[in-house]
Amino acid sequence: MTDVLPLDDFLAEAKSFLDTNAEPRREETFEWGKGSDRVGLLDEKSDQQELAELDAAKVWRRSLYDAGFGWITGPVEYGGRGLPAGYERAYRELAAQYRTPSEAPFGIGLGMVAPTILAHAVEEVKARYLPGLYRADIVGCQLFSEPIAGSDLAGIQTRAVRDGDEWVLTGQKVWTSGAQYSDIGEVITRTAPEKPRHKGLTMFVVDMKAPGVEVRPLRQMTGGASFNEVFFEEVRIPDDHRLGDVDEGWGVALTTLMNERASIGGGGGGATNVGLTRLLELARHQGLTDDPLVRQRIVDLYVHQTAARYTSLRAMAKVKAGQTPGPEMSIGKLALTMNMRRTADVLGDLLGPKLVADSGEWGTYAWSEYVLGVPGIRIAGGTDEVMRNIVGERVLGLPKEPAPRA
Protein backbone atom coordinates (compact mmCIF):
# COMPACT_ATOMS: atom_id res chain seq x y z
CA MET A 1 0.00 0.00 0.00
CA THR A 2 1.36 3.40 -0.99
CA ASP A 3 2.00 5.81 1.88
CA VAL A 4 -0.38 8.78 1.88
CA LEU A 5 1.20 12.22 1.81
CA PRO A 6 0.87 13.79 5.29
CA LEU A 7 -1.89 16.37 5.40
CA ASP A 8 0.43 19.11 6.66
CA ASP A 9 2.77 18.53 3.72
CA PHE A 10 -0.18 18.57 1.34
CA LEU A 11 -1.46 21.86 2.73
CA ALA A 12 2.01 23.41 2.57
CA GLU A 13 2.18 22.39 -1.09
CA ALA A 14 -1.29 23.82 -1.72
CA LYS A 15 -0.49 27.09 0.04
CA SER A 16 2.65 27.51 -2.04
CA PHE A 17 0.61 27.01 -5.22
CA LEU A 18 -2.10 29.46 -4.14
CA ASP A 19 0.40 32.08 -2.98
CA THR A 20 2.05 31.93 -6.41
CA ASN A 21 -1.08 31.86 -8.56
CA ALA A 22 -3.79 33.75 -6.66
CA GLU A 23 -4.30 36.79 -4.44
CA PRO A 24 -5.48 36.59 -0.82
CA ARG A 25 -9.16 37.37 -0.45
CA ARG A 26 -9.87 40.65 1.27
CA GLU A 27 -12.79 41.06 3.61
CA GLU A 28 -15.67 42.64 1.74
CA THR A 29 -18.01 44.98 3.59
CA PHE A 30 -21.45 45.98 2.42
CA GLU A 31 -22.39 49.64 2.42
CA TRP A 32 -25.82 50.75 1.29
CA GLY A 33 -25.80 52.75 -1.91
CA LYS A 34 -22.29 51.82 -3.01
CA GLY A 35 -21.20 49.35 -5.66
CA SER A 36 -23.50 47.13 -7.65
CA ASP A 37 -26.97 46.47 -6.24
CA ARG A 38 -27.52 43.36 -8.37
CA VAL A 39 -28.99 40.40 -6.48
CA GLY A 40 -29.92 38.09 -9.37
CA LEU A 41 -30.00 34.33 -8.98
CA LEU A 42 -28.99 33.42 -12.54
CA ASP A 43 -25.97 34.50 -14.55
CA GLU A 44 -26.99 37.17 -17.04
CA LYS A 45 -24.02 37.66 -19.34
CA SER A 46 -23.46 38.67 -22.93
CA ASP A 47 -21.89 36.10 -25.24
CA GLN A 48 -18.58 37.95 -24.99
CA GLN A 49 -18.65 38.04 -21.20
CA GLU A 50 -19.56 34.35 -21.07
CA LEU A 51 -16.66 33.34 -23.33
CA ALA A 52 -14.22 35.53 -21.37
CA GLU A 53 -15.31 33.88 -18.11
CA LEU A 54 -15.01 30.44 -19.69
CA ASP A 55 -11.49 31.15 -21.00
CA ALA A 56 -10.33 32.46 -17.60
CA ALA A 57 -11.88 29.47 -15.84
CA LYS A 58 -10.12 27.05 -18.21
CA VAL A 59 -6.72 28.67 -17.66
CA TRP A 60 -7.18 28.48 -13.89
CA ARG A 61 -8.52 24.92 -13.92
CA ARG A 62 -5.61 23.66 -16.03
CA SER A 63 -3.02 25.20 -13.71
CA LEU A 64 -4.90 23.73 -10.76
CA TYR A 65 -5.00 20.26 -12.31
CA ASP A 66 -1.38 20.30 -13.46
CA ALA A 67 -0.31 21.25 -9.93
CA GLY A 68 -2.17 18.25 -8.48
CA PHE A 69 -5.23 19.98 -7.02
CA GLY A 70 -7.76 19.49 -9.83
CA TRP A 71 -9.06 16.09 -8.68
CA ILE A 72 -7.65 15.46 -5.25
CA THR A 73 -9.76 12.40 -4.41
CA GLY A 74 -9.93 10.92 -7.91
CA PRO A 75 -8.47 7.52 -8.86
CA VAL A 76 -4.86 7.83 -9.97
CA GLU A 77 -5.48 5.75 -13.10
CA TYR A 78 -7.91 8.40 -14.39
CA GLY A 79 -5.81 11.43 -13.54
CA GLY A 80 -6.78 11.95 -9.92
CA ARG A 81 -4.47 12.17 -6.95
CA GLY A 82 -6.00 9.35 -4.93
CA LEU A 83 -6.05 11.18 -1.60
CA PRO A 84 -8.74 10.87 1.12
CA ALA A 85 -11.80 13.11 1.12
CA GLY A 86 -10.43 15.05 4.10
CA TYR A 87 -7.69 16.43 1.88
CA GLU A 88 -10.28 17.82 -0.52
CA ARG A 89 -12.12 19.54 2.33
CA ALA A 90 -8.89 20.94 3.72
CA TYR A 91 -7.90 22.31 0.31
CA ARG A 92 -11.29 23.98 -0.17
CA GLU A 93 -11.06 25.66 3.22
CA LEU A 94 -7.62 26.96 2.33
CA ALA A 95 -8.57 28.04 -1.19
CA ALA A 96 -11.55 30.00 0.18
CA GLN A 97 -9.02 32.46 1.55
CA TYR A 98 -7.92 33.40 -1.99
CA ARG A 99 -9.52 35.17 -4.94
CA THR A 100 -9.68 32.79 -7.91
CA PRO A 101 -11.62 32.76 -11.21
CA SER A 102 -15.15 31.38 -11.08
CA GLU A 103 -15.39 27.70 -11.98
CA ALA A 104 -19.15 27.90 -12.57
CA PRO A 105 -18.90 26.67 -16.20
CA PHE A 106 -17.64 23.31 -14.89
CA GLY A 107 -20.23 22.84 -12.14
CA ILE A 108 -22.42 20.42 -14.08
CA GLY A 109 -19.56 18.55 -15.75
CA LEU A 110 -17.68 17.93 -12.50
CA GLY A 111 -20.63 17.76 -10.13
CA MET A 112 -22.92 15.49 -12.16
CA VAL A 113 -21.49 14.17 -15.44
CA ALA A 114 -18.04 13.08 -14.22
CA PRO A 115 -19.33 11.10 -11.18
CA THR A 116 -21.77 9.25 -13.46
CA ILE A 117 -19.06 8.42 -15.99
CA LEU A 118 -16.82 7.20 -13.17
CA ALA A 119 -19.59 4.97 -11.80
CA HIS A 120 -21.04 3.56 -15.03
CA ALA A 121 -18.81 4.00 -18.11
CA VAL A 122 -16.48 1.40 -19.62
CA GLU A 123 -12.77 1.78 -18.87
CA GLU A 124 -11.91 3.32 -22.23
CA VAL A 125 -14.51 6.07 -21.82
CA LYS A 126 -13.40 6.80 -18.25
CA ALA A 127 -9.80 7.17 -19.40
CA ARG A 128 -10.84 9.30 -22.38
CA TYR A 129 -13.08 11.83 -20.64
CA LEU A 130 -12.37 12.02 -16.91
CA PRO A 131 -8.89 13.63 -17.10
CA GLY A 132 -10.18 16.11 -19.68
CA LEU A 133 -13.22 17.04 -17.60
CA TYR A 134 -11.19 17.73 -14.49
CA ARG A 135 -8.52 19.63 -16.43
CA ALA A 136 -11.17 21.65 -18.30
CA ASP A 137 -10.04 20.42 -21.70
CA ILE A 138 -13.62 19.10 -21.93
CA VAL A 139 -16.81 20.76 -20.68
CA GLY A 140 -19.86 18.62 -19.95
CA CYS A 141 -23.61 19.23 -19.72
CA GLN A 142 -26.66 17.20 -18.66
CA LEU A 143 -29.52 16.40 -21.06
CA PHE A 144 -32.52 15.09 -19.12
CA SER A 145 -35.65 17.28 -19.24
CA GLU A 146 -37.96 17.37 -22.27
CA PRO A 147 -40.73 19.79 -23.34
CA ILE A 148 -43.59 17.33 -22.73
CA ALA A 149 -42.15 15.22 -19.90
CA GLY A 150 -40.62 18.13 -17.97
CA SER A 151 -39.00 16.76 -14.81
CA ASP A 152 -40.80 13.41 -15.20
CA LEU A 153 -37.85 11.45 -16.56
CA ALA A 154 -39.94 8.31 -16.85
CA GLY A 155 -42.02 10.12 -19.48
CA ILE A 156 -39.21 11.09 -21.87
CA GLN A 157 -39.64 10.48 -25.61
CA THR A 158 -36.15 11.07 -27.07
CA ARG A 159 -35.34 7.82 -28.88
CA ALA A 160 -32.10 5.89 -29.36
CA VAL A 161 -32.26 3.05 -31.87
CA ARG A 162 -29.45 0.52 -32.19
CA ASP A 163 -27.68 0.24 -35.54
CA GLY A 164 -24.86 -2.29 -35.27
CA ASP A 165 -22.15 -0.90 -32.99
CA GLU A 166 -23.84 2.50 -32.88
CA TRP A 167 -27.03 4.10 -31.63
CA VAL A 168 -29.04 6.67 -33.59
CA LEU A 169 -30.39 9.44 -31.36
CA THR A 170 -33.41 11.59 -32.29
CA GLY A 171 -35.38 13.95 -30.08
CA GLN A 172 -35.31 17.16 -28.07
CA LYS A 173 -34.09 18.24 -24.63
CA VAL A 174 -34.80 21.48 -22.79
CA TRP A 175 -33.51 23.63 -19.88
CA THR A 176 -29.93 22.51 -20.57
CA SER A 177 -27.41 24.78 -18.84
CA GLY A 178 -24.08 25.30 -20.59
CA ALA A 179 -24.99 23.36 -23.74
CA GLN A 180 -23.74 26.23 -25.90
CA TYR A 181 -20.13 25.73 -24.80
CA SER A 182 -20.13 22.03 -23.86
CA ASP A 183 -18.09 19.37 -25.62
CA ILE A 184 -19.97 16.33 -24.33
CA GLY A 185 -23.38 15.70 -22.83
CA GLU A 186 -24.88 13.04 -20.62
CA VAL A 187 -28.20 12.13 -22.24
CA ILE A 188 -31.04 9.85 -21.18
CA THR A 189 -33.04 8.19 -23.96
CA ARG A 190 -35.87 5.72 -24.48
CA THR A 191 -34.58 2.53 -26.11
CA ALA A 192 -37.54 0.19 -25.51
CA PRO A 193 -40.85 2.09 -25.75
CA GLU A 194 -42.84 -1.09 -25.25
CA LYS A 195 -41.51 -1.49 -21.68
CA PRO A 196 -42.95 0.18 -18.54
CA ARG A 197 -42.12 3.85 -17.98
CA HIS A 198 -39.06 3.39 -15.74
CA LYS A 199 -37.80 0.53 -17.87
CA GLY A 200 -36.45 0.79 -21.39
CA LEU A 201 -34.30 3.87 -20.64
CA THR A 202 -30.61 4.01 -21.58
CA MET A 203 -27.96 6.62 -20.85
CA PHE A 204 -25.15 7.74 -23.16
CA VAL A 205 -22.28 10.18 -23.46
CA VAL A 206 -22.95 12.21 -26.61
CA ASP A 207 -20.57 14.44 -28.58
CA MET A 208 -22.17 17.91 -28.52
CA LYS A 209 -20.24 18.86 -31.68
CA ALA A 210 -21.46 15.84 -33.67
CA PRO A 211 -23.50 16.28 -36.88
CA GLY A 212 -27.21 16.56 -36.09
CA VAL A 213 -26.82 18.38 -32.74
CA GLU A 214 -28.38 21.85 -32.61
CA VAL A 215 -28.33 24.13 -29.56
CA ARG A 216 -30.75 27.06 -29.26
CA PRO A 217 -30.75 29.55 -26.35
CA LEU A 218 -33.91 30.05 -24.30
CA ARG A 219 -34.58 33.65 -23.30
CA GLN A 220 -35.76 34.00 -19.71
CA MET A 221 -38.07 36.65 -18.29
CA THR A 222 -35.03 38.04 -16.46
CA GLY A 223 -33.63 38.99 -19.87
CA GLY A 224 -30.79 36.47 -19.92
CA ALA A 225 -30.40 33.09 -21.58
CA SER A 226 -28.91 30.73 -18.99
CA PHE A 227 -30.67 27.69 -20.44
CA ASN A 228 -30.96 26.05 -23.86
CA GLU A 229 -33.07 23.66 -25.87
CA VAL A 230 -31.11 20.97 -27.72
CA PHE A 231 -32.26 19.09 -30.82
CA PHE A 232 -30.88 15.73 -31.97
CA GLU A 233 -31.45 14.66 -35.57
CA GLU A 234 -30.14 11.14 -36.20
CA VAL A 235 -27.02 11.70 -34.09
CA ARG A 236 -24.78 8.64 -34.00
CA ILE A 237 -23.30 7.46 -30.69
CA PRO A 238 -20.83 4.54 -30.39
CA ASP A 239 -22.11 1.73 -28.19
CA ASP A 240 -19.04 2.00 -25.96
CA HIS A 241 -20.35 5.46 -24.96
CA ARG A 242 -23.32 3.83 -23.27
CA LEU A 243 -23.52 4.32 -19.50
CA GLY A 244 -24.62 1.10 -17.85
CA ASP A 245 -26.65 -1.69 -19.37
CA VAL A 246 -29.19 -1.32 -22.18
CA ASP A 247 -32.66 -0.44 -20.86
CA GLU A 248 -31.30 0.05 -17.33
CA GLY A 249 -30.74 3.79 -17.54
CA TRP A 250 -33.06 4.67 -14.66
CA GLY A 251 -30.55 3.51 -12.06
CA VAL A 252 -27.78 5.37 -13.87
CA ALA A 253 -29.89 8.54 -13.98
CA LEU A 254 -30.39 8.37 -10.21
CA THR A 255 -26.62 8.66 -9.76
CA THR A 256 -26.71 11.95 -11.65
CA LEU A 257 -29.89 13.23 -10.03
CA MET A 258 -28.67 12.72 -6.49
CA ASN A 259 -25.40 14.48 -7.29
CA GLU A 260 -27.36 17.29 -8.98
CA ARG A 261 -29.64 17.84 -6.02
CA ALA A 262 -26.65 17.69 -3.70
CA SER A 263 -24.96 20.50 -5.64
CA ILE A 264 -28.12 22.64 -5.83
CA GLY A 265 -29.56 22.04 -2.37
CA GLY A 266 -26.41 21.19 -0.47
CA GLY A 267 -25.56 24.79 0.20
CA GLY A 268 -28.45 25.00 2.62
CA GLY A 269 -29.93 28.01 0.91
CA GLY A 270 -26.76 30.00 0.41
CA ALA A 271 -28.35 32.22 -2.22
CA THR A 272 -31.15 33.15 0.15
CA ASN A 273 -28.69 33.74 3.00
CA VAL A 274 -27.10 36.43 0.87
CA GLY A 275 -30.59 37.77 0.30
CA LEU A 276 -31.29 37.86 4.05
CA THR A 277 -28.32 40.16 4.71
CA ARG A 278 -29.50 42.52 2.01
CA LEU A 279 -33.10 42.24 3.23
CA LEU A 280 -32.08 43.51 6.66
CA GLU A 281 -30.32 46.49 5.09
CA LEU A 282 -33.34 47.12 2.88
CA ALA A 283 -35.67 47.10 5.89
CA ARG A 284 -33.38 49.59 7.67
CA HIS A 285 -33.25 51.82 4.60
CA GLN A 286 -37.05 51.73 4.32
CA GLY A 287 -37.39 52.57 8.04
CA LEU A 288 -39.26 49.34 8.79
CA THR A 289 -36.99 47.61 11.31
CA ASP A 290 -39.30 48.60 14.19
CA ASP A 291 -42.40 47.26 12.46
CA PRO A 292 -43.30 44.07 14.41
CA LEU A 293 -44.82 42.37 11.33
CA VAL A 294 -41.71 43.02 9.24
CA ARG A 295 -39.48 41.79 12.05
CA GLN A 296 -41.58 38.63 12.37
CA ARG A 297 -41.38 37.94 8.61
CA ILE A 298 -37.60 38.33 8.54
CA VAL A 299 -37.08 36.17 11.64
CA ASP A 300 -39.36 33.51 10.15
CA LEU A 301 -37.21 33.53 7.01
CA TYR A 302 -34.04 33.24 9.12
CA VAL A 303 -35.47 30.26 11.04
CA HIS A 304 -36.40 28.41 7.84
CA GLN A 305 -33.01 29.10 6.27
CA THR A 306 -31.17 27.90 9.37
CA ALA A 307 -33.25 24.69 9.50
CA ALA A 308 -32.53 24.09 5.81
CA ARG A 309 -28.84 24.64 6.36
CA TYR A 310 -28.58 22.08 9.15
CA THR A 311 -30.66 19.57 7.22
CA SER A 312 -28.31 19.93 4.27
CA LEU A 313 -25.24 19.66 6.48
CA ARG A 314 -26.51 16.32 7.81
CA ALA A 315 -27.06 15.09 4.26
CA MET A 316 -23.61 16.24 3.15
CA ALA A 317 -22.04 14.55 6.17
CA LYS A 318 -23.65 11.32 4.94
CA VAL A 319 -22.04 11.81 1.52
CA LYS A 320 -18.64 12.60 3.04
CA ALA A 321 -18.88 9.37 5.04
CA GLY A 322 -19.02 7.48 1.76
CA GLN A 323 -22.75 6.77 1.78
CA THR A 324 -24.96 7.17 -1.29
CA PRO A 325 -26.93 10.44 -1.52
CA GLY A 326 -30.60 9.78 -0.96
CA PRO A 327 -33.95 11.58 -0.71
CA GLU A 328 -32.38 14.02 1.76
CA MET A 329 -31.02 15.88 -1.26
CA SER A 330 -34.56 16.35 -2.54
CA ILE A 331 -35.49 17.82 0.84
CA GLY A 332 -32.55 20.23 0.60
CA LYS A 333 -33.42 21.30 -2.92
CA LEU A 334 -37.09 21.82 -2.03
CA ALA A 335 -36.17 23.80 1.10
CA LEU A 336 -33.93 26.03 -0.99
CA THR A 337 -36.66 27.02 -3.44
CA MET A 338 -39.29 27.40 -0.72
CA ASN A 339 -37.01 29.84 1.10
CA MET A 340 -36.46 31.76 -2.11
CA ARG A 341 -40.23 32.07 -2.48
CA ARG A 342 -40.47 33.31 1.13
CA THR A 343 -37.79 35.88 0.35
CA ALA A 344 -39.73 37.05 -2.72
CA ASP A 345 -42.90 37.41 -0.61
CA VAL A 346 -41.08 39.51 1.99
CA LEU A 347 -39.63 41.69 -0.78
CA GLY A 348 -43.11 42.39 -2.08
CA ASP A 349 -44.14 43.62 1.38
CA LEU A 350 -41.02 45.76 1.83
CA LEU A 351 -40.89 47.35 -1.61
CA GLY A 352 -44.45 47.42 -2.91
CA PRO A 353 -44.54 49.07 -6.36
CA LYS A 354 -40.79 49.77 -6.26
CA LEU A 355 -40.29 46.06 -6.97
CA VAL A 356 -41.93 46.35 -10.39
CA ALA A 357 -41.32 50.00 -11.32
CA ASP A 358 -37.77 51.36 -11.57
CA SER A 359 -37.63 54.61 -9.61
CA GLY A 360 -33.85 54.82 -9.95
CA GLU A 361 -33.41 54.27 -6.21
CA TRP A 362 -30.42 52.09 -5.37
CA GLY A 363 -31.17 48.66 -3.91
CA THR A 364 -34.88 48.54 -4.73
CA TYR A 365 -35.88 47.64 -8.31
CA ALA A 366 -32.74 45.49 -8.61
CA TRP A 367 -34.59 42.89 -6.53
CA SER A 368 -36.96 42.28 -9.44
CA GLU A 369 -34.24 40.17 -11.10
CA TYR A 370 -34.11 37.98 -7.99
CA VAL A 371 -37.88 37.49 -7.94
CA LEU A 372 -38.01 36.69 -11.67
CA GLY A 373 -35.18 34.17 -11.27
CA VAL A 374 -36.92 32.07 -8.61
CA PRO A 375 -39.12 30.09 -11.06
CA GLY A 376 -35.99 28.97 -12.93
CA ILE A 377 -34.42 27.61 -9.75
CA ARG A 378 -37.71 25.85 -8.94
CA ILE A 379 -37.35 23.97 -12.25
CA ALA A 380 -33.61 23.24 -12.10
CA GLY A 381 -32.77 19.82 -10.68
CA GLY A 382 -36.41 18.73 -10.58
CA THR A 383 -39.54 20.79 -10.01
CA ASP A 384 -40.94 21.45 -6.55
CA GLU A 385 -43.81 19.09 -7.36
CA VAL A 386 -41.44 16.23 -8.22
CA MET A 387 -39.42 16.90 -5.06
CA ARG A 388 -42.58 16.71 -2.95
CA ASN A 389 -43.50 13.38 -4.53
CA ILE A 390 -40.02 12.00 -3.76
CA VAL A 391 -40.16 13.18 -0.15
CA GLY A 392 -43.71 11.94 0.31
CA GLU A 393 -43.12 8.50 -1.17
CA ARG A 394 -39.51 7.73 -0.18
CA VAL A 395 -39.17 9.58 3.11
CA LEU A 396 -42.69 9.61 4.57
CA GLY A 397 -43.80 6.33 3.01
CA LEU A 398 -47.00 7.78 1.54
CA PRO A 399 -48.81 6.02 -1.32
CA LYS A 400 -47.68 6.85 -4.83
CA GLU A 401 -49.42 9.68 -6.60
CA PRO A 402 -52.32 8.35 -8.72
CA ALA A 403 -51.52 8.10 -12.43
CA PRO A 404 -53.43 10.56 -14.66
CA ARG A 405 -56.49 9.18 -16.36
CA ALA A 406 -56.13 8.44 -20.06
Segment (H or E) for 369? helix 367-379
Could you tell me which residues come within 8 angstroms of residue 229 by beta carbon, excluding any fewer than 6 positions away? 147, 172, 173, 174, 175, 176, 215, 216, 218
Answer yes or no: are the C-beta atoms of 267 and 202 closer than 8 Å: no
Helix axes 328-351, 249-265, angle to 10 degrees: 40
Rounded Cα gap, residues 166 and 164, in angstroms: 5
Q: Which of 50, 186, 229, 260 is the catalytic position?
A: 260
Rounded Cα gap, residues 205 and 230, in angstroms: 15
Radius of gyration of the chain from Cα atoms? 22
Could you tell me which residues come within 8 angstroms of residue 389 by beta carbon, excluding any fewer than 6 positions away? 401
* 3 state DSSP class of 357: coil
Residue 44 known to be catalytic: no
Rounded Cα gap, residues 283 and 241, in angstroms: 54
CA 101-270-287 angle, to 5 degrees, is 110
Answer yes or no: are the C-beta atoms of 44 and 369 closer than 8 Å: yes
Segment (H or E) for 214? strand 213-218
Rounded Cα gap, residues 255 and 315, in angstroms: 15
CA 156-133-69 angle, to 5 degrees, is 140
Rounded Cα gap, residues 156 and 160, in angstroms: 12
Is 235 exposed, middle or buried, given 0-12, 13-18 or 19+ CB atoms closer than 10 A?
buried
Rounded Cα gap, residues 332 and 268, in angstroms: 7
Which residues are catalytically annotated? 260
